[in-house]
Amino acid sequence: MAGSKNKNSDIVAVAKAARVSPSTVSRAFNHPDLVKATTRKRIDAAVRRLGYIRNRAARTIHGIRSGTIGLIVPTIDHTIFAELIQSFSDAVGEQGFTILLASHDYSLEQEYALTRKMLEHRVDGMALIGIEHARDTYVLLDQQNIPAILLWNVDEGSPLPCVGSDNYLAGRLIGDHLTGLGHRDVAALFPPLGGNDRAGRRFSGMMDALNTAGFDIHAYRRLETTYSISDAKRAVLGLISEGPMPSAILCGNDVLAWGALHALARAGAHVPGDVSVTGIGDFKGSREMEPPLTTVRIPAQQIGIRGAQMIIASITGSDTDPQNALLAPELKVRATCRAVRVSWR
């Protein structure tokens, strides 16, 4: 009944109901790892029974304003950032924080607007994807003097600390793998590179590998499409209809590779007998494809965990000078590639 609800429950009432001290209740909220699991359960039961909502504004005296961390990603339409988002959210949650999540659809101007909104909500820290951001976004974060980090890429010249992988190396690994198998007649399927430093670095690494092997990709075989299985499928079907089949299709990430595999199946082409296909990312489902996708593993889960640890340490003051963390990509050789005889033209 509404009349029986106690709207004036405070931390003292919770402590009394849970048979602990108010400081233990506070510690359970702010540093749950320092409180026994059985004690946390008693406190949680008291909180639920009393309908207690803590006043986060009161935490400002400890340098923590809202207990939230803003995370802005380019997209949540596909699995591209799903593993990172989940691991980042889980890791900050273990320390008593929650995330505010938003996506900017690869618009750096929209990212700036979202950053302003999150700061208006008094987030304690900000995490952005990649190195390339609007100048106004960097200026805003500096003006507000708020802990902020960049995820997914690492750049020693970045104005903010970074946690990520080497996307140039990821492209180089997959390019070297294909050229090592003898492929020279290849196509590339990538997203638009503008405003996407991750894809740009992968493309550069891949092209350097091909150039080292002494060849290039014809302009009509440099396909560009959005991160969409259907769009990638359409682009590859168009390529097939225009001329001879390439021996391999290098894709900027696994979502595009999935679309390429669907297109080749639709066209009756055998993978890898007729065409080899590669991706980058090693998203959930890539290993279960038929055939399993050869790709480069970007350690998204580890990036999310390490990034969460870094931003929380900055917020709480336990690390005032965070250092960049570079986590290496790893080539995953599976069944979508085969060796071909080199044909010198």
Residues 110-152 have pLDDT tens digits of 999 999 999 888 899 999 999 999 999 999 999 888 999 999 9
Q: How far is it, in rounded angstroms, from Cα 230 to Cα 38?
A: 50
pTM of the predicted model as reported, rounded to 2 decimal places: 0.78
Tokens matching residue 86: 């989940």
CB 202 within 8 A of CB 171: yes
Residue 195: predicted pLDDT: 79
pLDDT at 3 exceeding the cut of 50: no
Count CB atoms within 10 A of the CB of residue 158: 16
Say how many residues make up the chain.
345
Q: What angle do CA 169, 174, 175 make, to 5 degrees?
A: 95
The arithmetic mean of pLDDT across residues 63-69, rounded, is 77
Q: How far is it, in rounded angstroms, from Cα 230 to Cα 76?
A: 16
Residue 58: predicted pLDDT: 54
Residues 233-274: tens digit of each pLDDT:
999 999 999 889 999 999 999 999 999 999 999 999 999 999
What CA–CA distances, in Å, run from 115 to 20, 73, 100, 112, 196?
39, 11, 11, 5, 18
Asked whether the domain spanning 65-164+299-327 has the same topology as the one spanning 2-54, the reply is: no
What is the per-residue DSSP string for 194-212? TT-HHHHHHHHHHHHHHHH
pLDDT at 7 exceeding the cut of 70: no
Backbone angles phi, psi at 266, to 5 degrees: -60, -35
Tokens matching residue 7: 């709207």
Residue 302: predicted pLDDT: 97
pLDDT at 322 exceeding the cut of 60: yes
pLDDT at 9 exceeding the cut of 80: no
Residues 72-89: tens digit of each pLDDT:
999 998 778 999 999 999
pLDDT at 5 exceeding the cut of 90: no
The arithmetic mean of pLDDT across residues 288-296, rounded, is 96
Task: Give the CATH number of domain 2-54; options: 3.90.76.10, 1.10.260.40, 3.40.50.720, 3.40.50.300.
Answer: 1.10.260.40
Count CB atoms within 10 A of the CB of residue 173: 25
- % of the chain residues with pLDDT over 70: 92
The arithmetic mean of pLDDT across residues 294-306, rounded, is 97
Residue 57: predicted pLDDT: 52
Confidence band for 44, pLDDT divided at 50, 70 and 90 = confident
pLDDT at 345 exceeding the cut of 70: no
Tokens matching residue 14: 């919770």
Q: With respect to CATH, is domain 167-298 assigned 3.40.50.2300?
A: yes
Residues 151-205: tens digit of each pLDDT:
999 999 999 999 999 999 999 999 999 999 999 999 999 999 987 899 999 999 9
| Residues contacting 250, CB < 8 A, separation 6+ | 174, 175, 178, 186, 187, 188, 189, 206, 278
Residue 64: predicted pLDDT: 61
Residue 61: predicted pLDDT: 46
Domain ranges for the chain: 2-54, 65-164+299-327, 167-298
What CATH topology corresponds to 65-164+299-327? Rossmann fold (3.40.50)
Question: Residue 335: in which H helix or E strand, if any?
Answer: none
